[in-house]
Amino acid sequence: MMKKQMSSSSNTAGKKLSKDLDRHLNLTLGRDNCDVNTSHHYLYKSLGKTVRDRLISSWRATRCHHHEDPTRISYLSLEFLVGRSLQNAILNLDLEESVKDALHEHACELEDIESEEVDAGLGNGGLGRLAACFLDSCATLNIPVTGYGLRYHYGMFQQTIRNGYQVERPDMWLRHGNLWELETPEYTRVVKFRGRTEYYHDDHGHKRVHWVNTNDVLAIPYDMPVPGYRNETVNTLRLWNAEATDEFNLDEFHAGDYTDAVAAKNRAELITMVLYPNDSSVQGKALRLRQQYFLVSASLQDVLHNWERRYGRDFTNFAKNNVFQLNDTHPAIAVAELMRLLVDHYWMEWEQAWTITTATMAYTNHTLLPEALETWSVELFGELLPRLLEIIYEINARFLAQVAEKWPADVDRLRRMSIVGEGDNRHIRMAYLAIVGSYSVNGVAALHTELLEKGLFRDFYELWPEKFNNKTNGVTPRRWLAHCNRGLASLLVETIGDGWVKDLSELEKLKVYAEDSAFAERFMAIKLSNKERLAALVAHDCGVSFDTNMIFDVQVKRIHEYKRQLLNVLHIVHLYDRITRGDTNGMYPRCVLLGGKAAPGYFIAKLIIKLVNSVAEVVNRDARARPWLRVAFFPNFRVTAMERICPGTDLSEQISTAGKEASGTGNMKFMMNGAVTIGTLDGANIEIRNAVGADNFFLFGMTAAEVEQAHTNYDPNSIIAADPDLNRVMSLLESGQFNLFEKGIFDPITQAIRSPTDPWMIAADFRSYIDAQQRVCDVYADKPMWARMAVLNTASSGEFSSDRTIKQYRDEIWYRDV
């Protein structure tokens, strides 16, 4: 009886959805449903609008509800790598059955139209994707978090491969409009640039500052809904769009300078034109600083304006109820901007404003690489943001007085810790500004936090040990398991129920099934069908045929020297060398997939892409290699591709130089989907290995401490000379075997490997990597053994849910006593 009622009510919901779909198709879009030419495009659009309608009332309800609760967490990030929204919304709103039925009436499956949605690629890689996973978890945990970002007109570039080289094309993701945004011009803010400061006395004789003669830019918000998993909560991602204050400057126009007037409009709108495509490195361009300040100023004004509307100018409880979580140093200027707004706009005393600022700012560090630590030249900063520079000087003066008090006469320490770096090029150190202005500083994996405390931020840790804490990253199990791996998700629901979708620690219950051979076989049958789906994608996008009987060995992530795609290539060349010499004893056939984008200005990273493609071409063309080895480079790696790649992977390559990868999150997606990791003791790999057990993880390479040690007398040439396998690999590369028609192009790569100053220690870890890869072959040949490892990886992945991470942010950073 119960069951019948439920199914009839869901049936009603299904009919309603079907009607709404037709209404949007016929009335909103003006298409005909008996028109055989009704394309998937219009079906996608009408389905999107139908789903969106269902989000909107919960969205409003969530806003009303949050209106009663003064708590507001603002997550400030220059990147949100959201990917597609339709299926995520359908999953989170529990609309799958209704949608399926409705689409059947159009002789269509959801898979047929999903490809009509383009990825929202407003991020580079891990950092931006983390922000998107966090928003999903915050909504699911019903925490009042607003994401603040920029509405780039061009997101992450589209990568194509021509003659083996990366070619970048603009990502015009807004060309067909964006279903998932709502323009909310009523929340428009004005952001100032340039000009100068003027001091004056107010009516009470207090000294005040005006920032005058500024160039103003309008910040128009576009809101995207962030639905929680089946809990009626819909949070907001607010993306700011830059627009000129007037269509164009009328004075200039009347003076006859029409082109200058229009140019000014373009300058304003340039701010949100394009995402900077650098991951883990900075360019120091003025436009980037303008983007950072634009995001920060508009967002802080938005929060303060909302506060004022509800509580007037009484800020007594502001710090108690507000947190600004800074996703890396990119929005670190928030520290100075909040001071400016409180002091100049709300006429607050400096000390009181500083108390509020340092009780509301929280900073997440994402990297130990020096090239990623942002600094801005004082000259540029002063020209673009003169008032902010004054404030930073004041913050620094007061801070250094504090340091001098604790360590009298320690001039060297003062110089080291100063927010303003002295020397020929005076510069603002954004990470230091973030630390000084925040009550919480966190790293993103245990090792990373430890290295911050002992290394990069040691002086600050000695001053304020209580600020430092760790929050190991996570990924959302909705997108990265329930959605992307339907087969495994059903098996899990059948075996341990569906509690894991909201509480991933329940995957523990799976551990006993690792010993159940019938279960393990079903688990591996699902893996096989995911490998088939992946093979189809690789055939389509790379033109390489993958054999699902082989090991699917995958490394997809941004191309960066520290991630060591090069080490992977050396292994491929080593296998190829063995094959051509007839030495296939103990080898297990494998298909190796690499993918990822290189920053357009990063020469060596782009050359690595060319090398992968060149090696792939030689290997794939060689009939001797065909039974043993296939290699493909996956073009335009992005969120949607990852959703297909991680479920079909056997072996997850996480092979960064120890001490360089802050956490990694790709490692977690693979683990959840039953891939086994080959990896170094770096970032969250360490925690992954602890969770799954050393026996179920292929470890190799030096530790972070050993890497530090080894630099002192590193001699790659003698390592190469002493290892016949590595020697042959280097000889093959240097002989031009893979670049017969482009002589010498890989010299920079082989020279880097042979350099005693190679920071990435490729040669040092080669032998132990090759040995670990042999252990992979040995285990894979034992099907039940591999299956057991794969099951245990999924079963042990519970702690890598971003729900766990966000609960820790909530309990240990956001909800605190002020």
Ligand X SMILES: *Cc1c(COP(=O)(O)O)cnc(C)c1O
CB atoms within 10 A of CB 711: 14
Stretch that binds ligand X, among 2-10, 123-131, 373-381, 607-615 (CB under 6 A): 123-131
By CB under 6 A, which span of 384-392, 510-518, 531-539, 661-669 interacts with ligand X? 661-669
666 binds ligand X (CB under 6 A): yes
Catalytic annotation, pick one of 45, 330, 522, 563: 563
Concerning whether 548 is annotated as a catalytic residue, the answer is: no
Contact of 399 with 406, CB cutoff 8 Å: no
Is 78 or 334 the residue whose CB approaches ligand X more closely?
78
- Catalytic residue flag (residue 66): no
Which range of residues in 124-132, 216-224, 323-331, 462-470 is near ligand X by CB under 6 A?
124-132
Comparison of 146 and 673: residue with beta carbon closer to ligand X: 673
Smallest distance, ligand X to C-beta of residue 638, A: 5
User: Is 285 in the active site?
Assistant: no
Q: Is residue 531 annotated as a catalytic residue, yes or no?
A: no
Out of 31, 192, 340, 366, which one is annotated catalytic?
Answer: 366
Cβ-based nearer residue to ligand X, 382 or 679: 679
| Complex with ligand X: residue 637 or 766, whichever CB lies closer | 637
> Do 219 and 190 contact (CB within 8 A), yes or no?
yes
Shortest distance, position 157 Cβ to ligand X, whole Å: 13
Among 664, 674, 679, 716, indicate the residue that binds ligand X (CB under 6 A). 664
| Residue 638 binds ligand X, judged by CB under 6 A | yes
Identity of the residue numbered 503: D
**Residue 618: CB minimum distance to ligand X, A:** 27
Question: Measured from the CB atom, is 600 or 736 closer to ligand X?
Answer: 600
CA distances to 248, 266, 532, 679 from 258, in Å: 9, 13, 59, 60
User: Interface with ligand X includes 669 (CB under 6 A)?
Assistant: yes
Q: Cα–Cα distance between 655 and 676 in angstroms, integer?
A: 13
Q: What is the DSSP string of 208-271?
A: EEEEESPEEEEEEEEEEEEE-SSSS-EEEEEEEEEEESSSS-HHHHHTT-HHHHHHHHHHHHGG
Residues 6+ apart with CB under 8 A from 359: 319, 439, 818
Of 412, 411, 429, the C-alpha closest to 420 is: 429
478 binds ligand X (CB under 6 A): no
Question: Catalytic residue among 31, 151, 558, 810, which?
Answer: 558
| Among residues 82, 143, 639, 790, the one that binds ligand X under rule CB under 6 A | 639
- Residues 797 and 506: beta-carbon distance below 8 Å: no
Write down the least CB distance from residue 557 to ligand X, Å.
3
CB-based contact 506:496 (threshold 8 Å): yes
Active site residue 563: yes
Q: Return d(Cα 486, Cα 533) in angstroms, integer.
A: 12
Kindly tell me which of 438 and 805 has the beta carbon lying closer to ligand X. 805
- Rounded alpha-carbon distances, angstroms, from residue 461 to 85, 204, 406, 457, 722: 41, 41, 13, 6, 43
Near ligand X by CB under 6 A: residue from 534, 642, 651, 806: 642
Closest to ligand X by CB, 428 vs 608, is 608
For residue 396, state whether it binds ligand X (rule: CB under 6 A).
no
From 286-294, 308-316, 663-671, 731-739, span contacting ligand X (CB under 6 A): 663-671
| Catalytic pick among 557, 560, 689, 804 | 557
Q: Which of 192, 571, 669, 788 is catalytic?
A: 669
| DSSP one-letter code for 27 | I
Does 679 contact ligand X by CB under 6 A?
no
Half-sphere exposure of 699 (CA within 13 A, CB side): 16
Measured from the Cβ of residue 739, the count of other Cβ atoms closer than 10 Å reads 19
Tell me the closest approach of the beta carbon of residue 485 to ligand X, in angstroms. Answer: 14
Structure tokens at 246: 């007037």
**DSSP per-residue codes, 579-604:** HHTT--TT---EEEEEE----TT-HH
Cβ of residue 68: shortest distance to ligand X, in angstroms? Answer: 36
Exposure on the CB side of residue 656, measured as CA atoms within 13 A: 27
Helix (DSSP H) and strand (DSSP E) numbers for the chain: 33, 25
Site string for ligand X, 540-579 (x = CB under 6 A): -----------------xx---------------------
For ligand X, which stretch binds (CB under 6 A), given 306-314, 325-333, 434-442, 636-644? Answer: 636-644
**Two tokens, residue 449:** 């936090």
Residue 665 binds to ligand X (criterion: CB under 6 A): yes
Residue closer to ligand X, measured from CB, 129 or 522: 129
Q: Is 322 in the site for ligand X (CB under 6 A)?
A: no
Binding mask 33-72 for ligand X (x = CB under 6 A): ----------------------------------------
Q: Which residue is nearest to ligand X (CB)?
A: 666
Segment interacting with ligand X (CB under 6 A) among 144-152, 665-673, 750-758, 784-792: 665-673
Integer-rounded Cα Rg, in Å, for the chain is 28
Per CB under 6 A, does 474 bind ligand X? Answer: no
Q: Out of 14, 48, 126, 701, point to the residue binding ligand X (CB under 6 A).
A: 126
Of 24, 45, 129, 644, the residue at the interface with ligand X (CB under 6 A) is 129
Q: In what order do the strands lie in the sheet with 590-595?
A: 629-634, 590-595, 551-556, 651-654, 676-679, 698-699
Q: Per the residue annotation, which of 357, 665, 680, 805 is the catalytic one?
A: 665
Return the range that interacts with ligand X (CB under 6 A); candidates 18-26, 125-133, 207-215, 304-312.
Answer: 125-133
How many residues bind ligand X (CB under 6 A)? The answer is: 13
In the block, residue with structure tokens 């297909």: 644
Among the residue ranges 55-63, 351-359, 658-666, 694-702, the one whose residues contact ligand X (CB under 6 A): 658-666
Strands (E), 104-164: 120-122, 145-150, 158-162
Please measure the distance between the N-terminal and C-terminal CA atoms of the chain and give it in whole angstroms.
53
How far apart CA 501 and CA 63 sit, in angstroms, is: 25
Tracing tokens 């994707």 back to the chain, one arrives at 129
Q: Per DSSP, which regions of 587-731 are E strands? A: 590-595, 629-634, 651-654, 676-679, 698-699
DSSP state of 652: E
Residue 558 annotated to the active site: yes
Q: Which is nearer to ligand X, 126 or 144 (CB)?
A: 126
Least separation, in Å, of the C-beta of 129 and ligand X?
5
Minimum distance, C-beta of residue 457 to ligand X, in the bound complex (Å): 22
- In 191-206, which positions are buried (b, 16+ CB within 10 angstroms) versus exposed (e)? bbbebeeeeeeeeeee
Residues that bind ligand X (CB under 6 A): 125-126, 129, 557-558, 637-639, 642, 664-666, 669
Instruction: List active site positions.
Output: 366, 557-558, 563, 665, 669
